[in-house]
Structure 1
């Protein structure tokens, strides 16, 4: 059995250690080099098309580049899942033979290698997305049996442990570690004053709950500003996207229901732009009003974002 030749150092990340543990004699790119690649790709794209005729479609091109690595990560993850499916089948039908043991080890290696490759694509994607946010101020978000006998071989133990670890890791990754703060804001509330007060409210919330996660639907305007804040502050995001295909016009309110089901400690809302004369409708944004109503009905703290006094 061979492993990647790698001299570990204090600079190695968890990804670097996981990659080096693969049974592959070929070297693996480090986390730092993958991040540098994502930054370089986006920087090169932005530098090339800025102040050119392609500038009008700059956002489409940038988001397509980021989305390509997001799609690649998903495809590779599905390969890993298929390898784990084979592991389950091989483990279920294991007959104690050397051939079965070898096949199980091979499926385990394939799954671990695919997991590392998927993470590599995510590192490139996230670095490119962060570079795009710095360059443009825009935030990218993703669219959418029985066996006889008791003798276990080393390969079986490794496979079962790996399956349990992957499933637990996925559950943990989806579970915010701290309390949840929910935010709903009007899509037309995107003025400079709106942004400043949204950031003030979110900074206040983070002072109250330093390990908070931010729940929002990811809608344009105020909620995109909140997402930008979360990315800058390295705050976990929980997205409850409105499903218009399933719920039609009720989708934004169903998204509120999803966020309230998360048992937030506080709800923040901005139902109207603080600069209403700059093009937004005079009527307040209904879903932002609704989450305040739901919070009060459930006894959850609710703060409506308002203009600075004076």
Structure 2
């Protein structure tokens, strides 16, 4: 066996608090490499600067397009870098297979190995910037970015995002293995018009109470505008895992919001918060409550799940 291959990344003795920093230190590149924290700070700063410039201006109407484009640029870059690293790995395997012990082959193999490992580090660097920018986007706007193509390998968001169907499937698999153990889930549905300062205060108070009751909780919602966007913003600020049961209108049509409620109930939440209408009277729509929020409450009661409707505090 020849001794030209670089030592495994996983064999590197960790001396920092970051596996990413350990990875870059093990590359043997004489140039300094940005730390993980520096890359995340860059992602947050880029998104903050974008929002500071366009918020409350005429460009606010295309804020979502610009914000998603910024995050998507780093997502695309990570994919391109990863493909280059994959090609280097293919070359490395070919050179290793055909290795003849010559000095030229030895040098070529070392170069291909170094390129593949450097590509892995660069891919993760782009992902760190992307994820930090996406986290700031969610915290600032309540909107959740998802990749429009390709896979999203990064799981570095403070508010890690899961699709409800995936979470339900994983829970069922763990039950089948008799090893099911998941943190408590708190579900929330609220009216799209419930987006005032008073609504935000009441929603945040309720979720803060829930977090104190169940410190390892995840927040499950559909991601609808208004009250649920405020709840998503809270999750981003608190570092709470987010589970999205998206309404699939293409498949279910008008029934989509209620099918999404079925997914929320299937997650077996410890409680369901509902906000049927804005707490600001001027935002009420003909005095009617938001049907999907009421429906979730009814389904929670039928399933024996604690229902906690949010109301104005008594003055």
Q: What does 1:39-78 align with in structure 2 at a 5 Å threshold?
A: 39-46=44-51, 49=54, 54=59, 57-73=62-78
Q: Is the 8 A contact 2:39 2:125 kept in 1?
A: yes
The SS at the match of 1:232 is helix
User: What residue number does 1:277 align with?
Assistant: 282
Q: Give the unaligned 5+ runs of structure 2.
A: 100-105, 148-152, 154-159, 168-180
After superposition, the Cα gap between the structure-2 partners of 1:143 and 1:306, relative to the gap in structure 1 and judged at 3 Å, is same
State the partner residue of 1:141: 144
- Equivalent position of 2:260 in the other structure: 255
Q: Which moved more, 1:280-289 or 1:174-183?
A: 174-183
Instruction: Give the structure 2 partner of residue 17 of structure 1.
Output: 22
Residues 143 and 97 from structure 1, CA distance in 2 versus in 1: closer, same or farther, beyond 3 angstroms? closer
Q: Secondary structure at the match of 2:141?
A: coil
**In structure 2, C-alpha distance between the alignment counterparts of 1:221 and 1:51, rounded to whole Å:** 18
- Taking structure 1 as reference, are residues 53 and 17 closer, same or farther at Cα in structure 2, changes over 3 Å only? same
Aligned residue for 2:292? Answer: 287
Alpha-carbon separation, structure 2, partners of 1:214 and 1:292: 16
Is 1:216 the counterpart of 2:221? The answer is yes
Cα 1:271–1:46 change in 2 (3 A) is: closer
Aligned partners of 1:82 and 1:173: how far apart in 2? 30
Aligned-residue offset at 1:186: 1.0
1:129–1:140 Cα contact (<8 Å) kept: no
CA distance in structure 2 between the aligned counterparts of 1:238 and 1:204, rounded to whole angstroms:
19
The answer for unaligned runs of 5 or more in structure 1 is 91-95, 145-165, 167-171
Q: How many residues align?
A: 273
Note if contact 1:177-1:211 (Cα within 8 Å) is conserved in structure 2: no
**Structure 1 residues 98 and 25: CA distance shift in structure 2, 3 A:** farther
How far the C-alpha of 1:253 sits from its partner, in A, is 1.3
Q: Does the CA contact (< 8 Å) of 2:219 and 2:242 recur in 1?
A: yes
Q: Could you say if the C-alpha distance between residues 221 and 42 of structure 1 is closer, same or farther in structure 2, counting changes exceeding 3 Å?
A: same
173, 196, 205: which is aligned to 1:200? 205
Q: Deviations over 1:183-205 (max 9, x none)?
A: 11111111111111111110111
Alignment of 1:100-179 (within 5 A): 116-132=121-137, 137-143=140-146, 177-179=182-184
Corresponding residue number in structure 2 for 1:308: 313
Normalising by structure 1, report the TM-score.
0.70
Contact 2:6–2:113 (CA<8 Å) still a contact in 1? Answer: no
> Is the 2:77–2:126 contact (alpha carbons within 8 Å) kept by the matching residues of 1?
yes
Q: In structure 2, the residue corresponding to 1:184 is in which secondary structure?
A: strand
SS in 1 for 2:183: coil
Task: Tell me if structure 2 keeps the 8 A contact 1:191–1:273.
Answer: yes
State the Cα RMSD in Å: 4.2
